[in-house]
Copies of this chain bind each other. A is one copy, B any other.
Amino acid sequence: MPHDPQAPDAVLARIDAMLPAALDRLMDLLRIPSISTDPAFKADCDRAADWLVADLQSLGFDAAKRPTPGHPMVVAHGDGPADASGPHLLFYGHYDVQPVDPLSLWDRDPFDPALENTPKGQVIRARGASDDKGQLMTFLEALRAWKAETGQLPCKLTIFLEGEEESGSPSLIPFLQDNAAELQADIALICDTGLFQDTAPAIVTMLRGLLGEEITLHAANKDLHSGMFGGLAANPIRALTRILANLHDDQGRITLPGFYDGVSELPDAIRAQWQNLAFDHAAFLGDVGLSVPAGELDRTPLEMLWSRPTAEVNGIWGGYTGDGFKTVLPAEAHAKVSFRLVGTQDPHAIRAAFRAWVQAQLPADCSATFTEHGASPAGLMQITHPAFEAARAALGDEWGRAAAYVGCGGSIPIAGYFKTYLGMDAMLLGFARDDDQIHSPNEKYDVECFHKGIRSWARLLARLA
């Protein structure tokens, strides 16, 4: 066991030597079409869980497939050295994968993985290569090398692998509740995220929350003819556009009263790290045909994506929307509106504020009804846990550039669930690249990411154990 946390050289050398075998193992796992959302693949999901149980048992874990009403969980417990002073770590990944449609857009069978040489380097091509089988195997391979080199695991470990992440995790919360004591650890390591712009190691410490609302504005009791009624009768589309247009002021700020309660300024240390990432927003936007950051005028592009809340209309409809033209004044108009939340913004308070704000702007003869579509607060990781600085240092050592605490504009609910149901902080880090085409045809994982990912975990375990 290496005692200099900066240089677990023997373990790293073993990882390098074992890479071909590690790739073979990953490809074995990738051959199992564990598509969780399609009942036709239920037996395959089971088989993937069995494969992982066997692999964990080979590493000395007390591992078992645990039934749920859906696909099974894999839970494994392992002990480190008797004199270990390091933390008890829980590792999370998921063995299920997305469907593969449209199959015609794949250049090969998605479940016949292969190594391919590309202009950007060698890749493992298969459904799940990046999301999340390749990523979860980085951790298991690091443990394998560690065990091979030292004869034991580096510290007390719990492995928790889910089989329903790509289908909404219906069994997850009940399982966490039913097994809360067993799943306790000092911190959870979640490997389902990526590098920042392909090369910079990153630890996600801010996850935006999400609040969804659907509005229906009602006016007349039926659709009206705009010749017979136009000019005299209220048009709910007009009312809806006026209300939604007021959601932002001319500076791009959201106008709901109290909306920014709980939104903090970025700490200077984090701001400096983000500055150092040199985010190329022109390229990021340019890839999708855009050029100008559309958020608050006085915020940086990364703040707009990670640390500032948003209000967006994700859908709008009303009246006649088919071919040609129909001069209708519709009885109703509809919109789906979402808010990305940060800091300690309270989704329930914002929902109430939004509804009151809409009601206050209704013109005569218009009424509003609302449907909720979920409410989750932002996730803010407690980076005071020593694992965070250890991980930053380990990642920096491996990737040759400083690791940053970054945000994530979307939601990764598992981190919040660990906090809510197990009282456990979580750290999200991973090695995916933006061009991995997860959820799309021709998914891949770079061999470099797999290899350096395994090495990153070895360095991190050395620093923590």
A residues lining the B interface (CB < 8 Å): 208, 210, 212, 214, 219-222, 224-235, 237-238, 240-242, 244-248, 281, 284-285, 288-295, 301, 304-305, 308-310, 312-321, 324-330, 333-334, 336, 338, 340, 363-365, 373-374, 408-411
Contact = CB atoms under 8 A, between A and B. Distances in A.
B314 A317 contact: no
Nearest to A234: B294
A231 B314 contact: no
6 nearest CB pairs, A to B: A227-B410, A221-B289, A245-B245, A292-B364, A315-B319, A325-B373
Contacts of A228: 305, 409-410
A325 B314 contact: yes
B233 A294 contact: yes
A338 B334 contact: no
Contact of A220 (B208, B212, B289, B309): B289
A340 B304 contact: no
Give the one of A281, A289, A309, A315 with max B CB within 10 A.
A315
Contacts of A324: 373
A428 to B, nearest CB: 14
A230 B310 CA distance: 7
B304 A327 contact: no
A336 B319 contact: yes
Nearest to A225: B410
Given A316-B316, A317-B317, A410-B228, A290 B234 contact: yes
Contacts of A289: 219-222, 365
Given A319-B313, A319-B316, A208 B224 contact: no
A314 B292 contact: no
A234 B292 contact: yes
A232 to B, nearest CB: 5
Contact of A316 (B224, B314, B321, B325): B321
A441 to B, nearest CB: 15
Contacts of A292: 234, 364-365
Contact of A245 (B242, B281, B334): B242
A225 B210 CA distance: 13
Given A222-B288, A338-B327, A315 B314 contact: no
A329 B228 CA distance: 36
B313 A320 contact: no
A328 to B, nearest CB: 5
Contacts of A310: 226, 230-231
Contacts of A333: 316
A204 to B, nearest CB: 12
A183 to B, nearest CB: 27
A340 B227 CA distance: 8
Contact of A288 (B229, B288, B364, B411): B229
